[in-house]
Structure 1
Amino acid sequence: MKLETKQDFQQWMFQVLNPLKPLYSEGCARLPLGDSGVTYPKVSIEMEAFSRPLWSLVPLWLGGGKGFEEIYQKGLANGTDPSHPEYWGGFKDYDQRFVEMAAIASGLIFTPEKLWEPLSEEGKQNLAKWLYGINEYIIPECNWQFFMILVNVALKKLGCRYSKERLASGLEKIESYYIEDGWYRDGGSCQKDYYISFAIHYYGLLYAVAMEDEEPERCLLFKERAKRFAKDFIYWFDENGSALPYGRSLSYRFGEAAFWSAYVFAGLDDIPAGVVKGIIARHLNWWTEQKIFDRDGVLTIGYGYPNLVMAERYNAPGSPYWGMKTLLCLGLPDDHPFWSAKAEDLPELEPVKMLKQADMVMHRHGKDVVSYPAGVCEKYGHGHVPEKYSKFAYSTRFGFSVAKSQIVLHENAPDSSLAFVIDGDDYVFVRKYSDSYEVLEDRVVSRWHPFPGIMVTSTIIPKEYGHLRIHEIESQYDCTAYDCGFSVEKFTETYEQKAEGKGAFVSSGKQNCMVYGEGPEAAGLVIEADPNTNVLYPNSSIPAVSYRIKKGETIRLETRVESLIR
């Protein structure tokens, strides 16, 4: 749909949220959306689903729109009433309900007339007491600190009991996460992903708007950092509206653009309103073209289609509605320049750009946006960490694949990876993380080991045709190494593939990827990946080159990866 006016954006929101209306519980405090498993209990699952639509409803109300008010007034009253059967209950350390408090707190800060004032005195006391619980338990030292911060800001503004100490300590911890150039780390994590944009910066900008009068210096700091970050983050977006599929929590889908909505909401304008509007509008429209809803119109877990293979352990049926944060722009007044601005194309960006703090080089290659990360990630995380952070290349048009197992190539689906199979074994070993790395202006160099006794130094260099990979390998085993290109959509009308000599080629018509290798016994092949491994499309094939690696030798391989988007 065309997204130009405020009404257009409101309509987009209602198209996403209206299918939920008949699914709320009788007391409106629970929203059961499915039966897949997650690491927290049913009460938290259904409370999460109730809370997350608020990320767009609060801006809707703030901007003068109407809808869902009665559901959320009733739900808040019942969910925080210990005598009601739909009571959300008490807490434990690291409780998921602390996450969901942030959306409620946002509503209390920006639209108290919708969520606070209609409550009875008893209802207000119950809600305030329930929210205060976040101060009495342990929360992770990461972006979760902002949930505690926003709750205490809300309680303070309402004249309720709040924790001055926890508010101050939370802000101190957020400050300790700052690196430079507008980038944060997410607590102790070394990963740089969407949590920097749709969590830390997003909440920082909410804080900057809410507390500008009380803490002008800190609020200005949050804004200035967001401005610097925006100059890098814009490189993650494609001209067609898609964003780089990279890292964890991709089931939040259109939450990838949430930062831009917070950017304009906080009054930042270094990047013109028309450019920001273009990014958000194209992004939302791109997502509506994907198969992300079930037959009842409810968002599914997955990325380009319903897919539990790539999900994290914390993805519950209601989790994808975190993406509603991208509708924060609905909180802008009717006469804001954002609404009158024409949605503009992306500005001219450098074809190759080093993002130093993100540990990657970005490459705008034709109609594709490709990232070459250094493989900097946690050794153990939330699931499929190597696939989400440690491939050699990530593409807005090709996506990436997530392994179903570490056994045999087609189950591992090692696109954009150098995969090793040791003689006499069926296990597939890829880069899990880099032991050391260097990100330069025009290349990324990393040293890594897929398995003890195999050391690899990989150099990835952007080229006009795609990219070049140079690998230096020392192995204590006889093995075969498979250097794999992008994963290409299968079963299209114009699909074709070919493996011949030292190269292989796969084309869907719209996507083309060819790999060609120079090294010992180089041979082209096509890997028929298992269904539901690629995040963008359910069936795919991967062109690759195999090389023979002999025990005790130091081998140099060169693989040319050519890619084309029509």
Structure 2
Amino acid sequence: MAVPRDDAPDPAAPHGSRARWLAVADDLLRAVRPYASPGHALLTLPGPVSASGRWSDGLEGYARTFLLAAFRVAGEGGADPDGLLDRYAAGLAAGTDPASPERWPRMTERRQAVVEAASVAVGLAETRPWLWDRLDEGVRARVVDWFADIVGTDGYRNNWLWFQDVVEAFLAEVGGPWSQDDLDRNDALREDLYVGDGWYSDGRGRDGERQSFDHYAGWAWHLYPLLHARIRRRPLEQVHAERLHAYLAQARHLVGSSGAPLLQGRSTTYRFAVLAPFWAGTLAGATPLRPAETRTLAAGVLEHFLEAGAVDEHGLLPIGWHRAYPRLRQLYSGGASPYWASKAFLGLLLPADDAVWTAPPEPEPATGPQVRALPVPGWLVVRTPADGLVRVLNHGSDRMLEPRVVARADDPAYRRLGYSTATSPQLSRDAVAAPLESHTALLDGAGAPSHRDGVQRVHLGDTCAVSRSQVHWLDTPGAPGAGDDAGWAGLRRGPQVTTASVVHGVHELRLAWWHPADDDPVAHPDADAAWPADPGPWRMHVGGWALAGAQRDEVRVEDDPDRVVLHRADGTVSAVRAVRGLDEAGATWRDGADPFARWSATPWLRSSAPVAAGAVVAALVVLAGGAGDDVDLDAVASVDVRDGEVVVRWRDGRRDVVPAAHVVPTVDGTHP
């Protein structure tokens, strides 16, 4: 079944070239070979075991690497110098044989098999002339039987509905069973989760909100329509093409000029899978990017991860971001989960003479800071090409799935105020239980920070965003009032905290104030909850961007009574500067909490005294790369709190007006 070729890819091929992508694909596929079972059906990679178990993880290893092999072989017109398809064909035969010790779990045995079945279906469709069409009839019948478990099933409430559509599309193409009722139901669910302007919410929240925005919008919601269309040998439907085009016009700004993508949301261990929608747009003719722009962006992301150590010394993709970092995983993640990164190699389906590979390079023009509002996810995006950074100020995405009566910590992947291409939420157990970074909180009597919980949108303009949340405190085992059982945790309900971000260049002026929850009807569902209300009083905390270094001395802390500035050896700066109502400053160090590097520090500001209801505090929060030349910690001239608004004046003369309900008007610069 192997098809030889003479022009093997050059490992030293230029970055961005198609040969470079082929070489990286080959390296990744060769590295996983030693971990395959004798019959090649299960590929069990090193790393933690997922919640589905090692058996399911072995199927995942097969399916996700098969996807990479399929793109690599199909893109070369069947050329297969390493005999990839021979091994995957053998695995297909063993995995679907009920008598084989390597048989795959059925979808009735492991729900995760639904996900992996979609990758197998795509791989078979893309390589059909060289694999499926040459299989023994008995093997094909067993594969159809294994896939057929999905027909008539339901309960898919997020991107999983596409797995059913893709598998049933393949079944329809090969004469297997499928259900129009399944497809119609999924169509209705898909439209229900489409929020607009190219964005899907990956499910609904606890109260029906559609506020789950992350990379799944790209590597699932906008990828699978194209893969589905290719299985059915049809063009991408116009509605999906238009949505993909709209999404890419925004997603392109979530990748830094250095090639670093935004670190936000779940499953970020998939790393360069963020490129999947960009290749999909090119394949479908549904992209606002010119061919050279797509090539440059994709090459930048791939090389960013390779240079940062995302591939380990064994040639494998471990769970992590730059380096191996198991804490980044979700419970559904196992050792092979990172190989959803295979989706980044979709571009290999574009032939060597396509303009995406041949168009002359187009360097990104030098510009100053770019600020964009993305209304659907509720984000303000600040991009600075000069230092390669992208910052997202989050006033609209929360993935709030937990019932209100469940003791819960904020999900650090969704409910921080800020995400960027150079920083991460802190992920150690203590950091999740007591969030500090990119966070505004009330501090209780013991100094514990509140949790943000669900995000209620208030305002989103070109340079200003406002949101509020009913906060709570998490009482973990061993904390006063947490109960006698070591496995028990509780919470205390708090007031509403409103946070505003006003952006000027690399500077964010962050405003915050609180008011009683009873003032807001949205908070009423908690009024009769079993958990007690914290009586207060409370101090205010404003946390800046955490900065990480491999050694503690890579990050230097410079602090004064009204400011903290972190300087990293590469020139990156994270700073906070008190503007109003905050008179304590410090930095919190953590060991092992950050996926970028071992040591991390978070700068913060606090009020030493309790803050009254409606009293506005303000801080300048900055993240900058390079030498931090654009950072001016005295950029704010004044903050005037008026009835229903806050007026911000910058020293260069700019003026911003922030809508502000429940604030107490004060004289400029004073605090009640």
Fold conserved between structures, TM > 0.5 = yes
Structure 1 residues 552, 55: CA separation in 2 closer, same or farther (over 3 Å shift)?
Answer: same
The answer to whether residue 63 in structure 2 is matched with residue 51 in structure 1 is yes
Per-residue CA deviations over 1:437-482 (Å, capped at 9, x if unaligned) read 3222211101123222332111101122421101113475133332
Structure 1 residues 130, 542: CA separation in 2 closer, same or farther (over 3 Å shift)?
Answer: same
* Displacement of 1:38: 2.1
Alignment partner for residue 472 of structure 1, among 503, 508, 513? 513
In structure 1, how many angstroms separate the alpha carbons of the residues matched to 2:431 and 2:588? 15
In structure 2, how many angstroms separate the alpha carbons of the residues matched to 1:558 and 1:393? 16
- Counterpart of 2:463 in structure 1 is 442
- Counterpart of 2:547 in structure 1 is 488
* Displacement of 1:497: 0.9
The answer to whether residue 504 in structure 2 is matched with residue 463 in structure 1 is yes
Structure 1 residues 100, 547: CA separation in 2 closer, same or farther (over 3 Å shift)?
Answer: same
Structure 1 residues 75, 414: CA separation in 2 closer, same or farther (over 3 Å shift)?
Answer: same
In structure 2, how many angstroms separate the alpha carbons of the residues matched to 1:386 and 1:89? 31
- Counterpart of 1:534 in structure 2 is 594
In structure 1, how many angstroms separate the alpha carbons of the residues matched to 2:330 and 2:554? 34
In structure 1, how many angstroms separate the alpha carbons of the residues matched to 2:559 and 2:35? 51
In structure 1, how many angstroms separate the alpha carbons of the residues matched to 2:506 and 2:73? 49
Contact 1:375 1:389 in 2 (8 A): no
In structure 1, how many angstroms separate the alpha carbons of the residues matched to 2:230 and 2:383? 34
Contact 1:514 1:543 in 2 (8 A): yes
Alignment partner for residue 168 of structure 2, among 141, 152, 164? 152
Amino acid paired to 1:555: A
Q: Which range moves more in the overlay, 72-81 or 310-319?
A: 310-319
Structure 1 residues 90, 46: CA separation in 2 closer, same or farther (over 3 Å shift)?
Answer: same
- Counterpart of 2:98 in structure 1 is 82
- Aligned positions of 1:375-524 closer than 5 A: 375-380=396-401, 386-405=411-430, 412=434, 414-423=436-445, 425=446, 427-451=448-472, 452-474=493-515, 476-490=535-549, 491=551, 495-509=555-569, 510-520=571-581, 522-524=583-585
Per-residue CA deviations over 1:512-558 (Å, capped at 9, x if unaligned) read 12211134451211111x22222322211111112134275442111
In structure 2, how many angstroms separate the alpha carbons of the residues matched to 1:317 and 1:513? 34
- Aligned positions of 1:40-189 closer than 5 A: 40-64=52-76, 65-66=79-80, 67=82, 68-92=84-108, 95-188=111-204, 189=210
Contact 1:24 1:32 in 2 (8 A): yes
Contact 2:214 2:265 in 1 (8 A): yes
- Among all aligned residue pairs of Structure 1 and Structure 2, give the percentage whose two residues are the same amino acid: 22
- Counterpart of 2:228 in structure 1 is 207
Per-residue CA deviations over 1:206-238 (Å, capped at 9, x if unaligned) read 22344464xx6x712211211111111111111
| Length-normalised TM-score, structure 2 | 0.78
In structure 1, how many angstroms separate the alpha carbons of the residues matched to 2:366 and 2:160? 36
Specify which structure has the bigger relative contact order, considering alpha-carbon pairs within 8 angstroms and separated by 6 or more residues. Answer: 1
* Displacement of 1:35: 5.0
Unaligned runs of 5+ in 2: 1-11, 205-209, 473-492, 517-534, 627-672
The answer to whether residue 370 in structure 2 is matched with residue 370 in structure 1 is no
Structure 1 residues 45, 384: CA separation in 2 closer, same or farther (over 3 Å shift)?
Answer: farther
- Counterpart of 2:330 in structure 1 is 312
Amino acid paired to 2:497: V
Contact 2:52 2:110 in 1 (8 A): no
In structure 2, how many angstroms separate the alpha carbons of the residues matched to 1:278 and 1:14? 21
Runs of 4+ displaced beyond 4 Å:
346-350, 381-385
Amino acid paired to 1:417: H
In structure 2, how many angstroms separate the alpha carbons of the residues matched to 1:248 and 1:139? 21
Amino acid paired to 1:190: Q
**Structure showing greater Rg:** 2
In structure 2, how many angstroms separate the alpha carbons of the residues matched to 1:166 and 1:468? 49
The answer to whether residue 253 in structure 2 is matched with residue 235 in structure 1 is yes
Structure 1 residues 457, 89: CA separation in 2 closer, same or farther (over 3 Å shift)?
Answer: closer
Structure 1 residues 251, 381: CA separation in 2 closer, same or farther (over 3 Å shift)?
Answer: farther
- Counterpart of 1:352 in structure 2 is 371
- Kindly indicate which of the two structures has a greater share of residues assigned to helix: 1
Q: Which range moves more in the overlay, 146-155 or 279-288?
A: 146-155
Q: Which range moves more in the overlay, 443-452 or 475-484?
A: 475-484
- Counterpart of 2:356 in structure 1 is 338
Contact 2:441 2:451 in 1 (8 A): yes
* Aligned-partner SS, 1:473: strand
Structure 1 residues 224, 232: CA separation in 2 closer, same or farther (over 3 Å shift)?
Answer: same
* Aligned-partner SS, 2:279: helix
Alignment partner for residue 279 of structure 1, among 277, 293, 297? 297
- RMSD over aligned Cα, in angstroms? 2.4
The answer to whether residue 555 in structure 2 is matched with residue 555 in structure 1 is no
Equivalenced residue count is 558
Alignment partner for residue 525 of structure 1, among 581, 586, 589? 586
Amino acid paired to 2:104: W
* Displacement of 1:40: 0.6
In structure 2, how many angstroms separate the alpha carbons of the residues matched to 1:450 and 1:413? 12
Contact 2:16 2:298 in 1 (8 A): no
Unaligned runs of 5+ in 1: none
Contact 1:205 1:266 in 2 (8 A): yes
Alignment partner for residue 240 of structure 2, among 206, 209, 222? 222
* Displacement of 1:136: 4.2
Contact 1:372 1:393 in 2 (8 A): yes
* Aligned-partner SS, 1:497: strand
* Displacement of 1:93: 8.0
Structure 1 residues 22, 397: CA separation in 2 closer, same or farther (over 3 Å shift)?
Answer: same
Per-residue CA deviations over 1:39-93 (Å, capped at 9, x if unaligned) read 2122211100111012222111111242411110000111011111111133338
* Displacement of 1:140: 1.8
Contact 1:305 1:538 in 2 (8 A): no
Alignment partner for residue 253 of structure 1, among 268, 271, 290? 271
* Aligned-partner SS, 1:478: coil
* Displacement of 1:344: 3.5
In structure 1, how many angstroms separate the alpha carbons of the residues matched to 2:323 and 2:421? 15
Contact 1:399 1:534 in 2 (8 A): yes
Q: Which range moves more in the overlay, 481-490 or 229-238?
A: 481-490
| Length-normalised TM-score, structure 1 | 0.92
Contact 1:456 1:471 in 2 (8 A): yes
* Aligned-partner SS, 1:38: coil
In structure 2, how many angstroms separate the alpha carbons of the residues matched to 1:304 and 1:91? 33
In structure 1, how many angstroms separate the alpha carbons of the residues matched to 2:543 and 2:269? 25
In structure 2, how many angstroms separate the alpha carbons of the residues matched to 1:558 and 1:99? 46
The answer to whether residue 39 in structure 2 is matched with residue 23 in structure 1 is no
Contact 2:269 2:320 in 1 (8 A): yes
Structure 1 residues 385, 342: CA separation in 2 closer, same or farther (over 3 Å shift)?
Answer: farther
* Aligned-partner SS, 2:619: strand
